Amino acid sequence: MTTFILRTATSGDIPALRALIERSVRGLQQHDYTQAQMEGALGHALGLDTQLVADGTYFVASPVGQPDVFAGSGGWSFRRTLFGSDGGPDRVAEELDPAVDAAKIRAIFVDPAFARMGLGTLILQHCENAARAAGFTHAEMGSTLTGVPLYALRGYKAGQRVDVPLPNGEVLLILRMTKNL
């Protein structure tokens, strides 16, 4: 069994994180989305939001003893943006109030070579713990169809359907999911 360690992502990790996200989307989401949807979503609705890296709320998971192997990544945010990359839709950098707002669980991606090893759960729990430590009592996310089973298993409830128009004319279905922390 592979054991993973998590660390806070740095600006130097950005190129490797973008490559990881592309591998994850193309390798794991092909049963839920068409090739055109995946390509249109990369760098838009799906991708790295470097604001999370700057805020210190994005994490890299690597196998123990292999810090240069990016097996997964994910984060959380105290800002209003629900999902999307730097080039994504509906970006709002406004900070949230933990007393009334939900922390945003953001951009959890796993390399296909490390799928089904508990890595998504590990990253999610780490993000939830960090959000809880920052005073948040509930969390929400914009989940891809691929992520819905994992998040439902971890206590998230599916809510509003969000049809995200993509730059290539396609539409990506995202589900808003929520959970009390």
Identify which of 61, 42, 53 has the alpha carbon closest to the alpha carbon of residue 9. 53
CATH number for domain 4-137, candidates 3.30.1320.10, 3.40.630.30, 3.40.50.300, 3.40.50.2300: 3.40.630.30
> What are the structure tokens assigned to 91, written together?
């970006």
Q: How many C-beta neighbours within 10 Å does residue 42 have?
A: 18
* SS3 of residue 110 by DSSP: strand
- Predicted confidence at residue 161, as pLDDT, reads 96
* Domain positions in the chain: 4-137
**Stretch 45-74: mean pLDDT:** 97
What are 108-143's pLDDT values in tens digits? 999 999 999 999 999 999 999 999 999 999 999 999
User: In 10 A of CB 174, how many CB atoms?
Assistant: 24
Q: Span 89-94, mean pLDDT? A: 87
Q: 154 with 137: CB under 8 angstroms?
A: no
Collect all residues with Cβ–Cβ distance below 8 Å to 169 and sequence separation of at least 6. 40
